[in-house]
């Protein structure tokens, strides 16, 4: 029963993490590309937007790597 509960909580955690990632990445209104249709050199605002977007992508990579680490720890600690 204890192993089943640990596995269930782990699966729930993965689902919550996936929902958080998808909500941040695809539902966020700031990520739409409507401001970038012109062919002029980018303004300071656009450059700041790109830098912010790159920082968000790096943050997402860190979260993804942490999730992979959790899966590996789960496989090692809670093995059958």
Average pLDDT estimate for 3-20: 86
Predicted local confidence at residue 6, as pLDDT: 85
19 neighbors 63 (Cβ within 8 angstroms): no
What string of H, E and C letters represents the secondary structure of the chain? CHHHHHHHHHHHHHHHHHHHHHHHHHHCHHHCCHHHCCCCCCCHHHHHHHHHHHHHHHHHHHHHHHHHHHHHHHHHHCCC
Instruction: Establish how many alpha carbons lie within 13 A of residue 54's alpha carbon, considering only the half-sphere containing its beta carbon.
Output: 6
pLDDT band for 10, please (50, 70, 90 cuts): confident
Predicted local confidence at residue 23, as pLDDT: 77
What pTM value is reported for the model? 0.44
Please write the tens of the pLDDT for every residue from 17-76. Answer: 888 887 777 666 555 555 555 567 788 998 999 999 999 999 999 999 999 988 888 888
């Amino acid at each position: 029963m204890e192993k089943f509960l640990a596995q269930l909580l782990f699966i729930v955690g993965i689902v919550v993490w996936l929902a958080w990632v998808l909500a941040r990445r695809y539902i966020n209104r700031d990520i739409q590309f409507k401001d970038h249709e012109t062919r002029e050199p980018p303004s300071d605002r656009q450059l700041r937007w790109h830098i912010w977007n790159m920082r968000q992508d790096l943050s997402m990579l860190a979260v993804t790597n942490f999730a992979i680490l959790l899966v590996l720890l789960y496989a090692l600690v809670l093995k059958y």
